[in-house]
């Protein structure tokens, strides 16, 4: 009994040393580290929001990304915009009305004459001390929305990636090991999934199913898991299958299940891990695109922020309302990029030929 315990201890310490070595290698990769910092940054944003709410630093009534509202008013000078430009006061059409001015033609809910000042709601509000990134047209704090979007992105990404990789690993290993009809069936199934165009497929599914975060994660995970990755994992598993130690394991009486787990999985794991990281990028991107097109039922996400901005016509306003457009777009870009870079870094850890030294 003692021997067995010792063995387990030794195995554990070997594993620990291996993980440490891998971490050292990962640190070497500049790409991987940059990616890691970016992902860490967004992760901090993710946990920051609940903390701010729980500790009361932020009042939920004001700062909640979906239902928060803050009353912000400002004095506006009523002007009448001329028909032709340039004039003495304004150079281009987009200069009128200016920052603190309002065109009398757009005043529907209030009365006033040209030259008077009037108090109006300032939504969407530009960044201020209270709201680092300003508010959107409904008075909701943009920074809070970014953090909420970060939560959605992480949740969705990791959930769908785990599901997808889990499915493809199991299917790929089964295909490699049992061969024959099961293999043929699984390969054809992958072909079928590969043939379906992704985006239209997602459109169709969103048309007949109300897609919330969990649902979308399951859908993305399943589609990803049943697709081309099965083929790649199968070929990796096949490489293990032909190694002599598998035969010797079988001869010495190891059950097939045991062989599967203790030999094949560790070999396939690096590839699966890589897939997982890259799946996250795909999932976040898909969600953003679908939200942007208004097809999802998620309360708040980065894609949704841009969707609202577009629908309300702020996109072509240029840099005037930048806080409605830039933060969300940049967040999607950087978080997906960050995960991708981490994947590249992992690539260097697992594939010795890619390392620098």
Partner 1 sequence: MSNILEVKNLTMHYETIDGDVDAVKNVSFNVKAGESFGIVGESGCGKTSVAMSLLQLQAENGKISNGSILFDGLELVGMSENDLRKVRWDGISIVFQGAMNAWNPVVKIGEQIREAMREHSPESSKSQNTLKINELFTMVGLDSSVADRFPHELSGGMKQRAIIALALSCDPKLVIADEPTTALDVVIQDQILNEIKKVQELLGLSLIYISHDIAVIAEMTDKIAVMYAGSIVEIGPTEQVFKFPKHSYTRSLLDSTPSIRGEKKKLRSLEGEPPSLINKIDGCSFSPRCPTPTNGCKNQSIEMGLVKVGNDHYADKCCSECTSE
Partner 2 sequence: MYKYIFKRVYQLIIVFFLFLVTSYLLFDAIPGNAFQNMLLNPGLPPGAYEQVLALYGLDKPLSERVVLYITNFFKGDFGYSYKYFPKTPIELIAERLPRTLMLFAMVNIVSFYTGFLIGKILAWRRGSKSETWITITSVFSYTVFYPWFALMMLWFFGYKMDWLPIGKFLYPEKWYDAPFDSDVIFVLMIKFVVIVSVIQFLIYMFTRNIESLNTKRNLRFIGLILNIIGSFIFWNTGDALTKKLYAMDIAYHMILPVFTVTVVAFAGTALLTRTTMMEVLKDDYILTARAKGLSQRRIRDRHAARNALLPVVTSFIFTIVTIIDGSVLTETIFSWPGMGQLILDSVLNEDIPVAMATFSFIGVFALIAHFIADISYAYLDPRIRIQSQG
Distances (CA, A) of 236 to 190, 254, 261, 267: 16, 21, 14, 8
- Which of partner 2, partner 1, none sits in contact with 25, Cβ below 5 to 8 A by type? partner 1
CB count in 10 Å sphere of residue 208: 6
CA 301 to chain CA mean position, Å: 10
Shortest Cβ distance from residue 233 to partner 2 (Å)? 18
Q: Give whichever of 20 and 204 is closer to partner 2, judged by the CB atom.
A: 204
CB atoms within 10 A of CB 255: 10
Window 151-190: contact mask with partner 2 (x via CB under 8 A): ---------------------------------x---x--
Sole binder of partner 1 in the list 15, 16, 24, 93 (CB under 8 A): 24
Q: Are 32 and 346 in contact (CB under 8 A)?
A: yes
Residue 159 binds partner 1, judged by CB under 8 A: no
In whole angstroms, what separates CA 356 from the centre of its chain? 30
* 286 Cβ contact partners less than 8 Å away, ≥ 6 residues apart: 198, 202, 220
Q: How far is the CB of 297 from partner 2 (least distance, A)?
A: 15
Judged by beta carbon distances under 5 to 8 A according to partner kind, the member of partner 1, partner 2, none in contact with residue 28 is: partner 1
CB of 223 to partner 1, least distance (A): 37
Q: Is 135 exposed, middle or buried (0-12, 13-18, 19+ CB in 10 A)?
A: buried
The kind and range of the H/E element at 258 are helix 256-259
Q: Does 105 bind partner 2 (CB under 8 A)?
A: no
Q: Please give the Cα distance from 233 to 187 (Å, whole number).
A: 12
Residue 238 in contact with partner 2, rule: CB under 8 A: no
* Chosen from partner 1, partner 2, none, partner binding at 353 (C-beta under 5 to 8 Å by type): partner 2
Q: Does 353 bind partner 1 (CB under 8 A)?
A: no
Q: Which residues bind partner 2 (CB under 8 A)?
A: 30-31, 34, 184, 188, 191-192, 194-201, 203-205, 207-208, 281, 285, 288-289, 292-293, 302-303, 306, 310, 315-316, 318, 325, 328-329, 332-334, 336-337, 340-341, 344, 347, 351, 353-354, 356
């Amino acid at each position: 009994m003692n021997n067995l315990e010792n063995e387990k201890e030794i195995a554990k310490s070997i594993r620990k040393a291996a993980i440490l070595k891998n971490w050292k290698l990962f640190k070497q990769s500049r790409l991987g580290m940059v990616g890691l910092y970016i992902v860490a940054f967004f992760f901090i944003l993710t946990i920051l929001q609940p903390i701010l709410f729980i500790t009361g630093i932020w009042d939920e009534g004001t700062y909640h990304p979906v239902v928060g509202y803050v009353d912000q008013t400002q004095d506006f000078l009523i002007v009448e915009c001329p028909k032709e430009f340039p004039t003495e006061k304004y150079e281009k059409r987009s200069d009128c009305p200016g920052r603190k001015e309002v065109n009398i033609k757009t005043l529907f809910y209030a009365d006033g004459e040209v030259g008077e000042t009037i108090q109006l709601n300032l939504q969407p509000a530009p960044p201020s001390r209270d709201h680092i990134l300003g508010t959107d047209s409904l008075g909701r704090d943009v920074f809070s929305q970014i953090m909420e979007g970060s939560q959605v992105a992480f949740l969705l990404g990791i959930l769908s990636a785990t599901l997808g990789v889990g499915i493809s690993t199991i299917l790929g290993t089964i295909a490699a090991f049992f061969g024959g009809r099961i293999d043929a069936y699984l390969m054809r199934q992958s072909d079928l999934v590969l043939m379906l165009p992704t985006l239209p497929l997602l459109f169709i599914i969103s048309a007949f199913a109300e897609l919330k975060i969990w649902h979308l994660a399951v859908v993305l995970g399943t589609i990803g898991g049943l697709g081309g990755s099965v083929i790649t994992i199968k070929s990796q598993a096949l490489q293990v299958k032909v190694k002599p130690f598998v035969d010797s394991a079988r001869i010495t009486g190891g059950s097939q299940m045991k062989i599967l787990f203790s030999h094949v999985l560790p070999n396939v794991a690096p590839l699966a891990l890589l897939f997982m990281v890259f799946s996250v990028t795909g999932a976040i991107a898909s969600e953003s695109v679908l939200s942007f097109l208004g097809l999802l039922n998620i309360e708040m996400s980065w894609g949704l922020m841009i969707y609202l901005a577009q629908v309300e016509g702020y996109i072509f306003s240029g840099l005037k309302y930048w806080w409605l457009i830039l933060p969300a777009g940049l967040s999607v870009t950087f978080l997906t990029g960050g995960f991708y870079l981490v994947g590249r870094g992992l690539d260097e850890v697992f594939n010795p030929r890619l390392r620098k030294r």
